[in-house]
Structure 1
Amino acid sequence: MTFQQIKEQEQKYIIHTYGRVDVALTKGRNATAWDIDGREYIDFTSGIGVNSLGYSDPGWAEAVSKQAGEIQHICNYYYSPQNTALAEELCEAAGMAQAFFCNSGAEANECAIKIARKYGEKRGAYKIVPLENSFHGRTLTTLAATGQEGFHKDFLPLTEGFVYARSGDIEAVDALLDGSVCAVMIETVQGEGGVVPIAPEFLSGLRRLCDERDVLLIIDEVQTGVGRTGHFYSYQGYGVCPDVVTSAKGLAGGLPIGTCLVTEKLRNILKPGQQGSTFGGNPVACAGAREVVKRVSCPEFLQSVQEKGRILTERLEALPQVEFVRGMGLMLGIKLKSGGAHDVLIKCAQHGLLVLTAKELVRFLPPLTISENEINRGLKIFAKVLESI
């Protein structure tokens, strides 16, 4: 097929929920991809933080294909060795006690919300406090948890019970904890909100407040988790442990997976029949995730992510068109002095670089395995695009 045939097919048969760029990718290795016409691209998106080990990593592909050739799916009535092994390995890496597996970040956050309400049931507490400017998913309930009105307006009424606080304002959160609240729900870096890291003193203050008021602290690590910030989970870099942590995107290296992890005090809080997922814990996805966890949880690997993030930040800050860079590890937002982020995204694709946006920022989420050569080539294209604006 030609690119034009693919585009016409998409326009005719797929609901238009995405503003697509005129690129049809067919092959990739690490942070380099090729389109249907054989044109090469450096990828600073990793599928929005999903391809943590890059495109078609040999070790990951072997683990996935081996499992697919043995048994591809198991009904949750029965035990799955890949599923139980991943649960143990993930809990050990995260410092948590138990896991529930599903298929996406939104589903993981839905599970976290259900756990919080189950926990608050004993005293009639059901409200949850997310932060303004947050993003927690696109289901009706996770949209309600999202602290951005722009995501709400077309789908009212949303699930009730969410009251928002401003990030950094511990007094505002304290004022909301009136006995009706069962949980506080945050991102350590607000990704879709513009790559905005949370202040360390605010997070430690939230932990203290939650302990004092018997309120759960939920940390949404759908985008920040599994090495993205240079720590296996970003809260580990803050020295604060949540009661519930959600994870998805980069966990299975390109296959659909989500998980909701809980601490010991929430062990077995959900009973049989209170939560489920047909595809959650799928053996093939779990095989891919085990390869990711094995490699990304190594201290040397995480140190390399921090170092790559430092190099990218320093080189971006040296560009005269850049106003500032913010983020953590390989999760970076770039504010330009002039020119729209979306226009830059389009021009970058035309010149062979794939990037993302987040509000008014250009966003980089490259594979954690990106090579020095790929970084250099991508930054060279980015600088050329900025010079042309």
Structure 2
Amino acid sequence: MQIFEIEKEIFFQTYKRLGVYIKRGEGVYLIDSDGKKYLDLISGIGVNALGYGNESVKKAIFEQVEKFIHLSNLFVQEPQVELAKLLIELTGYKKVFFTNSGAEAIETSIKLTRKWGKKFGKDEIIAFSNSFHGRTMGALSLMDRAKYREGYEPFLPGIINVKYNDAEEIEKRINNKTAGVFLEFVQGEGGIVPASESFIKKIFELREKFNFLVVADEIQSGLWRTGKFFAFEHYGVKPDVVALAKPLGGGLPLGAVLGNEKVADVFTVGTHGSTFGGNPVACSAGCAVIKEIQNGIIENVKSMCDYFKKRT
């Protein structure tokens, strides 16, 4: 029985698999069972920022595996601390929480927003049309696309979906009950749609007026993918909370939530946690990823960005 037939027999059929049997990856290429090479433009759905077999990432992983693969979050862990320090130094945020994935980072951000809002009698969250935040129930509650939501109702209450890039509509929907606004500054799954300057300006004007959190989903657009560490940096603004993942762990499951001084003390002992969040091997890989991207790759990202912009 071929591997494709076995897969259909034993897995829930949630993925439309490509008919290629990949045996290994090498640099920017995937190599199938017949030795044929493919230029990988999927990049693990935005995960493999450094391609396959990066020596710095492999070295970091192997060295940490020799020490310990997993350690309870009841212990302080050097790889976690090192990666958190890197993220804080690069971004200026105050606190970090590590997760296993982007979806878990969004769930954490929802909990953080709700808990923060509770102090002020705020419990509504604004999210936007055509967005994608993940497959979990909280993430689906932020989204409006029937393709992902149908059959999973009911969703979390108190979440209002507003048309993306509609500054007038957002002004009508935000009020004193608004605890947070969740958005992608560049929509990924929604078609690579950047937020307009006027839309972002209006959101941050309303934040000053109504005191809510702006939560940036940078899961696909973060880590210099747009030439800057975060996509929101192109707009000259700074959200209160940021969700990260995708390339952060160098191919290993890793996400993060960053928060500013407004939310620094919201989570207290026992109010949130994750068994595998911040896995030491993944965090070691994450440190290597950031250092490697800083070592000349950023300039290449910027030049490639200019190249494609001129040809669109």
TM-score, with normalisation over the residues of structure 1?
A: 0.78
2:158 equivalent in structure 1: 161
Equivalent position amino acid for 2:304 in 1: K
2:39 equivalent to 1:42: yes
Contact kept, 8 Å, 2:180 with 2:215, in 1: the verdict is yes
Moved more, 305-314 or 154-163: 305-314
Contact 1:103 1:279 in 2 (8 A): yes
Aligned residue in 2 for 1:213 = 210
Return the offset for 1:297: 4.1
Query: Cα distance, 1:101 vs. partner?
Result: 0.4
The alpha-carbon deviation at position 12 of structure 1 amounts to 1.1
Q: CA RMSD in A?
A: 1.4
Question: What amino acid does structure 2 have at the position aligned with 1:189?
Answer: V
Report the residue type matching 2:301 in the other structure.
Answer: V
Structure 1 segments, 4+ long, off by >4 Å, are none
* Residue 371 of structure 1: aligned partner: none
How many residues were matched structurally? 312
1:89 has 2:86 as partner: yes
Q: Which residue of 1 aligns with 2:100?
A: 103
Shift of 1:309: 2.6
What are the equivalent positions in structure 2 for 1:282-301 lying under 5 Å apart?
A: 282-297=279-294, 300-301=296-297
List runs of 5+ in structure 2 lacking aligned partners: none
Q: State the match for 2:128 in structure 1.
A: 131
What 5-or-longer segments of structure 1 have no aligned partner? 318-324, 326-389
The CA deviation at 1:180 is 1.7
Question: Helix, strand or coil for the counterpart of 1:67?
Answer: helix
Contact 1:46–1:54 (CA<8 Å) still a contact in 2?
yes
Assess if the C-alpha contact under 8 Å between 2:132 and 2:189 holds in 1: yes
Q: Say whether the 8 Å CA contact 1:232–1:297 is kept in structure 2.
A: no
TM-score (norm 2): 0.96
Candidates 170, 173, 198, aligned match of 1:173 = 170
State the secondary structure of the residue aligned to 2:159. coil
Task: Judge conservation of contact 2:171–2:202 (CA < 8 Å) in 1.
Answer: no
Look up the match of 1:238.
Answer: 235
Partner of 1:195: 192
Aligned to 1:311: 307
- Identical pairs, percent: 37
- Look up the match of 2:298: 302
Tell me, in whole angstroms, the C-alpha distance in 2 between the residues paired with 1:10 and 1:149: 27
The answer to whether the Cα contact below 8 Å between 1:218 and 1:242 also exists between their aligned partners in 2 is yes
The alignment status of 1:20 with 2:17, answered yes or no, reads: yes
Distance in 1, matches of 2:265 and 2:288, equals: 27
CA distance in 1, matches of 2:294, 2:161: 33
Q: Is the 8 A contact 1:232 1:302 kept in 2?
A: no
Equivalent in 149, 172, 177 of residue 152 of structure 1: 149
1:2-48 deviation per Cα after TM superposition (whole angstroms, max 9, x unaligned): xx721111111111000111012121122111012211100111101
CA-CA distance at 1:271 after TM superposition: 0.8
CA distance in 2, matches of 1:160, 1:34: 46
